[in-house]
Amino acid sequence: MKHDAEQLAAAYLTTMRRRGRRRYEAHLLACEPCWREVCLARRGRQLAESSRRAAPPGLRDDIRAAVAAAATAPADRPHARAPIAFAVALTLAMVAGAAMVAQPWRHGPPVPAAPAVLAAAVASYRDNRLPGTAVPGELAPDLTGLRLHLVGAATGQLDGMPVTTFTYMDATGARLAIYRSTRPFPEAAEAHVLGGEDSAWTMRSSGITVICARGTHTMLLLGSDAALVRQAGAVLHAT
């Protein structure tokens, strides 16, 4: 029987369900490569688990003291760099805007797009890569209320669909991406609708939460932190 011993053993020790486990355990008795994979991985897991240790006793007190000090200290100006980022975005928009033809933002005819565009958006977010290099002709949405500052902006294409992308980051390193298009994004088969007709919808893919804005469905919000994506959606009146 041809099979991937490594993949099967990895699944067996993590996510395989009961029925699959029973079948695989029967298979193990007759398959030396699989047996070896499982033995080694079990040993490795046991070794890794043996290195668990409690934090030093004083650590919690140190954390309490540090957080208490931060709580009573005057808060830093949130995102001192944000105004700079916006000034840059504004300048770029002014320069690009003069050269660009106005885009038919809400009135463009809906063109059927393959769901692959969603996969492309997820991959673009996951790989932290912009879908193009052209300067956007529009201003980035203001998300400073969520302590998010602009870290990237570009116009390009996702699976052939024209998009403008803005990426944000907060002080913890959490990222959020916004993709805007002149065309509606296709709804994923696994999407959950967040209301009635013309409502926003949401989906999860590879640990990334996607929200497609209500109405024209021409804006996507993506992020690993589901709560952050929801909050950004609320701020932008997308949900």
Give the DSSP letter string of 82-122: HHHHHHHHHHHHHHHHHHSPPP-TTTSPP----THHHHHHH
Q: Is residue 30 a contact point for other proteins (CB under 8 A)?
A: no
Q: Count residues near other proteins (CB under 8 A).
A: 64
Residues facing 157 on adjacent strands: 162
Q: Is residue 236 a contact point for other proteins (CB under 8 A)?
A: no
CA distance 239 to 230: 8
CA distance 118 to 71: 41
For the CB of residue 88, give the shortest distance to other proteins in the complex, in Å. Answer: 22
In sequence order, what are the residues at sequence separation of 6 or more whose Cβ sits closer than 8 angstroms to the Cβ of residue 42? 13
Q: Is residue 48 a contact point for other proteins (CB under 8 A)?
A: yes
Binding to other proteins (CB under 8 A) within 65-104 occurs at: 66-68, 70-76
Among 27, 35, 97, 194, binds other proteins (CB under 8 A): 35
Q: Which of 134/226 has CB closer to other proteins?
A: 226
The separation between the first and the last C-alpha atoms of the chain, rounded to the nearest angstrom, is 50
Q: Is residue 39 a contact point for other proteins (CB under 8 A)?
A: yes
Phi, psi of 224 (to 5 degrees): -75, -25
Binding-site ranges for other proteins (CB under 8 A): 6-7, 9-11, 13-15, 29, 32, 35-37, 39-56, 59-60, 62-64, 66-68, 70-76, 126, 145-147, 170-174, 206-208, 224-228, 231
